[in-house]
């Protein structure tokens, strides 16, 4: 295992500035977010010119790229074409992992299965591993639903976010029951390809490191049992009342002490 940081830790910065700042904080690996909604790298700016995109992303060569966090605004065939382009870029930049969001809650399950199967087939054709991210308000907020997706789609991985299960348990009886029974996301560990981390309480998705309920030691121990050897990704947004550099450094040091 190794510690990485997401470029979304500095969502309002230019890509290279965000990477340089993370490097100044002694991170050695970075997850690059490529999404239209927020963050320094937009799919619309990168995917129309794959050669330039490779050059831009390779400029982070001083840090290892642990993966790409992708969120496309397109639909239909254009969506799959853009995803294929991103897989080619990942291959050219020697990045194995791409994570994508799942559909919103209420989306027909079979429709989501077919969509993710198609993405997995495209990704595997370029030597890329596709993972679906745990996200609030999406099908993937429920660990049981995620498990069914993984069992139905060969090759699909999970970008695990323990904060999602903790917060979802406050408003989702099924998730709360699983957490109370000690199951939580344990059943998903064999599918995990990335882990997104911050500190969280049941009332707030992100709190100062040490003020929440995330048991980092337990998470690391469980992952070690599954012989997990990939990134523990610090994924924290700036909080106005706290020094963001201090928070990032604090979580990096905590995670490094556990591995």
User: Model's pTM, two decimal places?
Assistant: 0.89
Please write the tens of the pLDDT for every residue from 108-153: 989 999 999 999 999 999 999 999 999 888 888 888 888 999 999 9
Are the beta carbons of 149 and 113 closer than 8 angstroms? yes
Q: Which residues of 162-186 are buried (b: 16+ CB within 10 A; e: fewer)?
A: bbbbbbbbeebeebeebbeeeebbe
pLDDT attached to residue 182: 45
d(CA 163, CA 143) in angstroms, rounded, equals 12
CATH number at residue 65: 3.20.20.150
Parallel/antiparallel/unpaired status of strands 231-234 and 97-101: unpaired
- Joined together, the tokens standing for residue 192 give 């995990």
Count the domains in the chain. Answer: 1
Are the beta carbons of 144 and 184 closer than 8 angstroms? no
Question: Residue 245: which pLDDT band, with cuts at 50, 70 and 90?
Answer: very high
Full residue range of the structural domain in which residue 148 is found: 2-258
Please write the tens of the pLDDT for every residue from 11-22: 888 888 889 999
d(CA 214, CA 124) in angstroms, rounded, equals 33
Sort 77 into a burial class: Cβ within 10 Å, 0-12 / 13-18 / 19+. exposed
Are the beta carbons of 112 and 139 closer than 8 angstroms? yes
């Amino acid at each position: 295992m190794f510690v990485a940081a997401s470029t979304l830790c500095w969502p309002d910065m230019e890509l290279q500035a965000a990477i340089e700042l993370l490097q100044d904080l002694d991170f050695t690996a970075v997850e690059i977010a490529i999404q239209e909604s927020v963050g320094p790298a937009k799919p619309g700016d990168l995917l129309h010119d794959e050669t330039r995109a490779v050059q831009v992303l390779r400029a982070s060569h001083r840090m290892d790229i642990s993966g790409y966090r992708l969120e496309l605004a397109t639909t239909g065939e254009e969506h799959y074409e853009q995803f294929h382009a991103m897989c080619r870029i990942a291959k050219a930049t020697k990045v194995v992992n791409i994570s994508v969001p799942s559909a919103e809650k209420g989306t027909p399950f079979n429709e989501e299965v077919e969509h993710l199967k198609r993405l997995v087939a495209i990704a595997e054709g370029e030597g890329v591993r596709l993972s679906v991210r745990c996200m609030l308000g999406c099908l993937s907020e429920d660990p049981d639903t995620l498990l069914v997706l993984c069992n139905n789609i060969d090759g699909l991985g999970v970008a695990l976010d323990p904060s999602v299960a903790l917060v979802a348990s406050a408003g989702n009886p099924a998730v709360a029951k699983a957490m109370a029974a000690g199951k939580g996301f344990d059943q998903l560990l064999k599918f995990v390809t990335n882990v997104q981390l911050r500190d969280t309480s049941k009332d707030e998705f992100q709190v100062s490191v040490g003020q929440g309920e995330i048991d980092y030691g337990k998470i690391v121990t469980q992952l070690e049992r599954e012989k997990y050897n990939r990134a523990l990704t610090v994924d924290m947004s700036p909080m106005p009342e706290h020094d963001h550099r201090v928070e990032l450094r604090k979580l990096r040091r905590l995670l490094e002490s556990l591995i």
